[in-house]
Structure 1
Amino acid sequence: MQKVQGSWVDDQRQGHGVYAYPNGDTYDGEWLHHERHGQGTYTHHETGSQYMGTWVMGKMESTGELIHLNHRYQGNFVNNNPSGPGKYVFDIGCEQHGEYFQLEPISATLPNQEDSGNLELTLQESIKNFSKQPAAFERIGSLVMSQQDM
């Protein structure tokens, strides 16, 4: 069941408010034109994970913190994804500093021996199909870590 507490302007959420989604997720923060916009916290009911930070027209943008059960990511976000410098902070007391880069899919044309034609691959799609765990691919494929303080 959806539950809303907050201000409305022209039949749209506006200003500070709390919204409970049908799946149990919640958002507590600022709204503009019916979109998450400004500072706010989104909590995933199923996992307990939270994003606390800046929202721009419904997307995670700028400075924020993504908090999971035993670690957190602190850094910048662009279009709902980590981007630029950031760090993972683990509950066991260590930190991993690095920088996220948004990678474009890589395409390659390889000879196809069966019909002497060409077989076009997209590396990103191949890895996703192989992995079956897109979140793991995103961390491995998009995070370039520096070996500082080692």
Structure 2
Amino acid sequence: EQRGPFEYQNGDVYDGQWLDGERHGRGTMTYAEDGSTYDGIWRRGKEHGRGRKEFLDGISYVGDFEHGMMHGQGRFTMADGVVLDGAFLEDEWQG
């Protein structure tokens, strides 16, 4: 297992743990395209486990991720302050 920052050609920056050349373990990614960030657990290169994703427009999600999607229990906060608490299935709020 390794640790350290890496900047991708597209400008994304990852700082965290690596395993076999993939993001794996605890880490933070800043996505260059939209400025969003993910801080949490990674598994084989994908957001997978407990984490927090924040967007520049004020939208955020704190909760469980699976294979890069909101999946499990979490809290989604919209830019206008509306909060969705509960279960998420493949990025969709279930209530």
TM range (shorter): 0.7 to 0.9
Q: TM-score, normalised by structure 1?
A: 0.57
- Measured in 2, the distance between the counterparts of 1:43 and 1:58 equals 14
Q: Which amino acid aligns with 1:74?
A: V
Give the structure 1 partner of residue 50 of structure 2.
63
The match for 2:2 among 12, 15, 28 is 15
Q: TM-score, normalised by structure 2?
A: 0.87
Give the structure 2 partner of residue 144 of structure 1.
94
Decide which structure has the larger Cα Rg and report it: 1
Q: Which amino acid aligns with 2:26?
A: Q
In the alignment, structure 1 residue 78 sits paired with structure 2 residue 28: no
Runs of 5+ unmatched residues, structure 2: none
The match for 1:34 among 17, 21, 42 is 21
More strand, by proportion: 2
> Larger RCO: Structure 1 or Structure 2 (Cα < 8 Å, ≥ 6 residues apart)?
2
Q: Which amino acid aligns with 1:85?
A: Q
Number of residues paired by the alignment? 94
Q: Which amino acid aligns with 1:144?
A: Q
Runs of 5+ unmatched residues, structure 1: 1-13, 103-137, 146-150
**Kindly, what percent of the aligned residue pairs are identical?**
36
More helix, by proportion: 1
Give the structure 2 partner of residue 121 of structure 1.
none
- Structure 2 matches for 1:64-143, cutoff 5 A? 64-69=51-56, 70-90=58-78, 92-102=80-90, 142-143=92-93
TM-fit CA distance, 1:72? 0.5
TM-fit CA distance, 1:96? 1.9
- 2:84–2:93 Cα contact (<8 Å) kept: no
CA RMSD of aligned residues (A): 1.6
